[in-house]
Structure 1
Amino acid sequence: MRPGRLGVGVIGAGRVGAVLGAALRAVGHSVVGVSAISEQSRDRAAALLPGVPLLEPAEIVERCELVVLAVPDDDLVPLVRGLAELDHWQTGQIVLHTSGRHGIAALAPAAARGAVCLAVHPVLAFTGMSLDLARLTGAMVAVTAPAAFLPIAQALVVEMGAEPVVLSEEDFPVVGGILARVREDVDRSTRQALRRLAEADVEDPARMAGPLVRAVLENALAAGPERPATGLAPPDSPIE
């Protein structure tokens, strides 16, 4: 490894964890182990992190200098607390979580044992496949950490090809919640439209709706938050 490279462990080989592990590995860090419970997660780990052994979370914490916690939002706090109760966290160890719901307060039990705690939330809709590595390049990533540790979070994000955006501890979960709502609303409305087109016997719903959906999103993003709607006719209006 090049100087400054870290031994990385990934707890949670979901769509986010496996991709971030692969991104860190691509820039020279060594992925020491990955924790994966479901068969789907194990398959994803094998595809994105070939050759990396499957380990228990406690083993990963004991062996790694950088621990990436990419578990569901509801599991994060109990996991960190449980590992602290078993006295696994180490002084100087970097602990990074990817949840948009929590700031660094979720990592308090690790911080109390001297760990360097970072909250790093990529603003992406992950598929858990290799194409996410290309999407990560240039993507925005929300970060928060104690002031002394912010450069570490920013450096890790930049290494993965993304762009860090520093948020306060208070704003981090607020922004994360807004972005989660955007993702859910766009996904739900698009899928609903595709189902209705299919029910109307449209042969290729995605091909028909795709240009419209992409144009509406691009127009809304270009217009910005202060401008009114772009003049699209409402759904029940005749097409001019």
Structure 2
Amino acid sequence: MYGYYFDPTYILLVIGMVLSLAASAKVKGTFAKYSKVHSTSGLTGAEAAQQILHMAGITDVSVVAVAGSLTDHYDPRTRQVALSQDVYGKTSVAAIGVAAHECGHAIQDAVNYAPLNIRTAIVPAANIGSTLSWPLFLAGLVFSIRPLLTVGILLFSLAVLFQLVTLPVEFNASARALKMLGDNRLIAQEEVKGAQKVLVAAALTYVAALAASVLQLLRLIILAGGRDRD
């Protein structure tokens, strides 16, 4: 087993943390930059969302305000596009881009986009996996119970799978958003590029989260292998 004072697999955690922090800083910086660029259309995030939903023929989804910053999301259970205080009533390019992205998820839901359905279906298993994986793995590590190590790794793999399926869902929602904005001239063509930069930066946070989880999974496998050698 590794020395008491040093576990070389911690480097994998550090790499994952650096990637996540860098992605988070990137999205916050890009959002802040384009939050200062007001759209020539004068539409708020909420108004843009309502127009996009209307043009997509979606009449059973409401647009609501939610507290926090960058807490925007689409909830298929309540059929709501929830927009944060920096998006709902703001007329910036960043606000409209984020609002359009969340509407992209509503459109995915309306057309039964397969990756979204898969992600929704595995949410319960992913939640169980992220909750129980570490306690079981650590118990297996401490008490040298190989089956617990294996179960812990498999459960954590469910959480990694969820993040993997999330990528096409997020990229597709952004693509739908940018198409709706451009085709329907909700913002000027030159402003679409700004919205795209905001959404690309946001997408990088999901890529970083997946990379960090894969590195964490690799760490579990290495630790389990080290226990076997002992």
Would you say same fold, with TM above 0.5? no
- Give the TM bin, normalised by the shorter chain: under 0.3
Please report the TM-score for the alignment, with normalisation by the length of structure 1: 0.25
User: Which has the larger strand fraction?
Assistant: 1
Please report the TM-score for the alignment, with normalisation by the length of structure 2: 0.26
